[in-house]
Amino acid sequence: MSGPSVRTVPDGDDRERLVCPDCGFIQYDNPRIVVGSVVTFEEQFLLCRREIEPRRGFWTVPAGYLELNETITEGAAREAFEEACARIEIERLLAVYNIPRLSQVQMFFRAHLPAPDFAAGPESQEVALFAWDDIPWDELAFPSVHWVLNHFRESEASGDHTVRTNPPGETGDMRKR
């Protein structure tokens, strides 16, 4: 199969799109929405060690792609259940980050676990609660995991609940690190 693999500007459009040379289908590719949560239980943070690429073996907050017909809170709750078998209670939107090179918009909520019930889902090697000082900072999977944990902490300390965005100058591009 070919699939949409030829880059061309369709008639009446002003941008290159991927077109299938076999069937002529034009793919209007859209940015992707990642939804996730900083989940706490008694001032500890729920993290998942990834069983899948990219960044297999590294730690992340529960997060993943929003599916069709989902609301963003439904998606964030589903990801926490899939990755950590955790039924979380979502409180509010904490941060919206842009990763323009990957065409991603990442939206993170503040959430908590009503009870310390969790387990590794099929996409996690391990799931655990960490006190702030025990978070494996050098083994976090993505820049935005660093950002959102720090934004959570800063938002708690200041009482300023304004939705956070990318730290100044940061684009989330891991190739530049």
Binding site for a copy of itself (CB under 8 A): 1-4, 15, 20, 22-27, 29-33, 65-72, 74, 92-93, 96, 98, 100-101, 103, 105, 107, 161-163
Smallest separation (angstroms) from a copy of itself to the CB of 131: 29
Q: Please, which residue, 30 or 158, has the CB nearer to a copy of itself?
A: 30
Report CA 74 to chain centroid distance, whole Å: 14
Smallest separation (angstroms) from a copy of itself to the CB of 80: 17
Q: Please, which residue, 46 or 94, has the CB nearer to a copy of itself?
A: 94
Smallest separation (angstroms) from a copy of itself to the CB of 2: 5
- The SS3 assignment for 71 reads coil
Phi, psi of 166 (to 5 degrees): -50, 140
Q: Please, which residue, 20 or 128, has the CB nearer to a copy of itself?
A: 20
Residue corresponding to tokens 């690190």: 177
Report CA 27 to chain centroid distance, whole Å: 24
Q: Please, which residue, 47 or 172, has the CB nearer to a copy of itself?
A: 172
Smallest separation (angstroms) from a copy of itself to the CB of 28: 9
AA letter at 19: V
